[in-house]
Amino acid sequence: MRKQLIRFLILASLICLALTVTAYADEATVTGNEVNMRSGPGTNYEVIDCLEKGATVTVNDCSNYYWYNVTYNGKTGFMASGYLKINPAPIVEQVTESAAQNGYINAMYVRFRSGPGTDYSVLGEYKTGTKLTITGSSNGWTQVNINGKDGYVYSSYVSVEEPAAVAQPIQEQAAAVQQPVQEQPVQQPAYQVAAQSERTGTISGNYVRFRTGPGTNYTIITSYNSGTPLTMKGSSGSWYQVVINGTEGFVFSQYVKLDAVQQAPAAVAVEQQAQPAEGTTAATPVAAPEITGYIRGNSVRFRAGASTNTQIIAEYNSGTALKVTGHSGAWTKCVINGKEGFVYSDYVTENKPAVSSEGSDTGKQIAAFALQYLGYPYLWAGSSPETGFDCSGFVWYVYKQFGYTIQRVACNQANEGVHVDHANIQPGDILCFYSGDNYIGHSGIYIGNGQFIHSSTETTGVIISDLNTDAYEARRVA
């Protein structure tokens, strides 16, 4: 009896000890719209909640790669890992309550974030002079409280002294208006805008900056939220020139969702082709042998005539096959999908996209296999030809066909295999691209010749792009 009592006490002690051990817990942000939380790890389990994009959940266990055990608003269930982004735990240097001090925002349109980094959600935007309480710091970010809410502001935009423009008496401000100080104009870098046929669209994202020029060094006019209508008129690098509410400015292209291009009926296209643009002389197309060619570049315009003033019939991406039938000045007359039109000659090549001859046989086979999916649709969380692919789903699927089991999410793919220096990348290598600070947000497969294949956007689907950035991690698995 006594032995049984001792065993019972030991067992009870062990249970109590287990209950006091801190379980794995981390925070993650929901990255999709209306994502289901289920009672078990699979789509065959009951839906117990539906979470919106941006919601924060507590991850209790992630040993099942595809389904994480999470808690949200007191409910515990399972969510697909592809719709969750683990938030890195911030290392915060706290200050004592007595040492906490008041401070101020010292710039315009300063973002107030949920964590110490640009990949954290934006809680709001504040202007010069906004009061705050400094409560800590973390790796270049200041932990603050604004209007009763805790968050982070980049330290350069926080000062303990009230900005002069705010502290200045009203009378002095009036005097300054009457006697303005002669200042040297700020020299902005020159830029060129490629004019394009107008297309409508909307802002995709919240607190998106609308700037006076194509770069973050240009003045912020204002910011807009998702769904704001706009008209795109041109492009400059990775920026779109747009008109919003009658004002012209620039928005980073990643935050613009363009409406689908309306294709003109064939009869209209013929009529347009027959009529030269006003003030120009129609050039007679020079006959050429019918040869097979390919589009070189993405979102290349296929026009009704040999001029940028003529109607856009459609847009095509790199690798699209065409039949060359003639030339007119700097334009190539061709047939694509049974329709006749013109493509600017710089975007036409006789060479079909192909894998470089360099690298291992397996790597070249992987890259060549990936090429067959050019033009397949983009689908968020998609990972098969039947449904379409997102970026990491495409990479995951291609590698799976060669017997490699790699992780499903782009940021995790950046840890697969071994690191490869940029100077030594070969066909078949996985390229994982940084989308801000240290966050990996996109992936693709290198095919050689300075190009990679990837599932890019809903507009383009799977395309080939030039590798014109150094902001990526290269990994070799095969």
**Is residue 393 within a helix (H) or strand (E), and if so which, with residue range?**
helix 391-400
Mark whether 419 is an active-site residue. Answer: no
Q: Is the Cβ–Cβ distance between 354 and 367 less than 8 Å?
A: no
d(CA 432, CA 420): 12
Mark whether 411 is an active-site residue. Answer: no
- The number of helix segments (H) and strand segments (E) in the chain equals 7, 37
DSSP code of 7?
H
Residues 137-158: b if buried by 16+ CB within 10 A, e if exposed: bbeebbbbebeeeebbbbbebb
d(CA 269, CA 272): 5
Among 327, 411, 432, 454, the active-site one is 454
Q: Is the Cβ–Cβ distance between 406 and 432 less than 8 Å?
A: no
Distance (Å) of CA 57 to CA 14, 83, 376: 30, 11, 33
Among 327, 411, 432, 442, the active-site one is 442
d(CA 70, CA 28): 9
Which of 447, 445, 452 is CA-nearest to residue 466?
Answer: 452
Distance (Å) of CA 128 to CA 102, 162, 183, 188, 262: 14, 9, 21, 22, 44
Mark whether 442 is an active-site residue. Answer: yes
Residue corresponding to tokens 């007359």: 333
Among 334, 391, 411, 432, the active-site one is 391
CA of residue 122 relative to chain centroid, distance? 16
Q: Is the Cβ–Cβ distance between 25 and 60 less than 8 Å?
A: yes
Report the SS3 class of residue 365: helix
Q: Is the Cβ–Cβ distance between 431 and 366 less than 8 Å?
A: no
Amino acid identity, position 210: F
Task: Write out the catalytic residue numbers.
Answer: 391, 442, 454
